[in-house]
Structure 1
Amino acid sequence: MHTAFTRGPVADIFSSYLVAVSLSAASELGVLDALRQQGSYSIEKAGTDGLDTRLVRQLLVTLSWAEIVEVAEDKAVIGPRFDQAWDARGYFYWMVRGCGELFSVLPGVTRTRARVGDYYTRDMRAVAVGSKLIGETEVEPHFVELLGELDYKVITDLGCGSGQRLIGAVSRRPGVRGVGVDIAPAAVDLARNSVEQAGLSDRITMVSGDVRNLEPLPEFADVDLITCVFLGHDFWPKTTCVEGLRKLRTAFPNARRLLLCDVVRSEEPPGADTTIFTLGFELVHAAMGVYLPTRSEWYEAFRESGWVLNGERDFAAPPLGILFDLSPES
């Protein structure tokens, strides 16, 4: 009997999947937050919070396999890999909660005859939350720095997701107004709630729309700064990307700057040094039929659509992330 697979690398792949699922769940349930704040977590107290203590224990036991926590009796404490898991929690939430249903139907969506209409589902609220957490490590600090150097009166965020970027940009500048645009109703609702909680409903407007095909609206007339984060690949393939970028110039006639941040396609084969997110990001978008451009392909699209590249910044997290600083061609 060939039973070598029951231990070792292949068995670890199986267990690692379950760790990813448990890490995502622990993040959503607030278990990771409690561990981060207190250094320990009472499994018994989970019951008073309305959680199934047996399941919570099993989630933590699964995380202990990866040394993220250590479990003893009715308590869990942070393990040697907790800090890295905390920093990476957005990636796991994006993958498991946001894209889990898509992964479960991969055989079906691989068959081209099944690719009709809305042939896949993702939890776009979870994608927005995961993307927010992913961006907090490097992307948002870069944005805060760059926005501090720019003069703008009205900012729009394309694919605004949870709305946090827009809220930050507006709250840091008295008198500045904002417009959020997102195609997903769940993300728009999440952003509206966030804006209301921040007390900025009088300064930030939310618009439902497809950023690839925007027409001029009264809300867009005075926008002088456009931001677009983790959404640029949705403009592709190239013909639609060029057309979509041209339409941005028409929809936002007074825009003087476009800050476009996206993750580009890897041009190296996967190996021991393959970074987190890279395989997942590329697999998910292949399943959705979305083309991922390389850096050089973006350069071509900018030139052909009338946007001038002022500069760019590379990110370590998310891996292969780039912030393009663009201005409309005069």
Structure 2
Amino acid sequence: MADWTADRIPDQSGRTFVVTGANSGLGYETARQLAGHGGRVIMTARNETKGREAVAKLRADQPDADVELRTLDLADLDSVRAFAADVAEVDVLVNNAGIMMPPRSLTKQGFESQFGTNHLGHFALTGLLLPRVRARVVTVSSGLHRGGSIHFDDLTGERKYSPRVFYSQSKFANVLFALELDRRLRAEGSAVLSVLAHPGYSATNLQSTGPTGLLSLAMKVSNRLIAQDVSMGALNQLYAATDPAAKSGQFIGPDGRGEMRGYPHVVQPDPAATSAETARRLWDVSEKLTGVRYAFDA
């Protein structure tokens, strides 16, 4: 895997990908590379106008790209269900979209926005699409899952809310979910892989559209001074989505110091995020909150 780059992505002709949050940042770069290597890419965006602009930009760069836009708001389970009902067989689902450290707000169904978007939306989407997924589910987490936990007694942040703490909770939930999905797929004898990835510290608009005040200012400065380019950050989820050597249950992140920058390699999650007991509890709660029950749990 040493110094793995997008040039090593195998030919993806004949494969269909769903990439959430594909209108900008890591999602756009992932869609661009997958399409550039022959894949058919369903690009999702919450904002249709921004999504159309992203598709036009990609096609201007790659006139023969097989891409299409579909609207998907992961903060609205009605939108998730409508989107999933209109998707036929897919080879790889890339759960990329997310929001980061906004002031406290609730989704349409009343969930804390980061937990609702980053975890519950993707949990529901994966469950609805899984019977049609042929190869892989890639879940994008963050190095900030480390030190996170699930506040089962205050999931909405009504008692106490911190943008950073609840962002960490949502990314911690991503890891618990993807590892538990791997366990359940293996127990089912499925050939589908569940692979995790995180981009290190990559310069995207995620840091500027969510945080407010001094936190927003600090992130704008660190984006310029510390962050790596989005093309490097996206390599981790591209490896997880396409490389034949990727294994179910693996976590792919940058190989540099502190996993902030660098090329993809296998990293270790926070030990607390490997707890099967916590993962099962989160799974049960997520099924109840979303109303989505996985086929192999029926």
The reply to whether TM is greater than 0.5 is no
TM-score, normalization: structure 2? 0.42
Q: Which protein is bigger by CA-based radius of gyration?
A: 1
TM-score, normalization: structure 1? 0.39
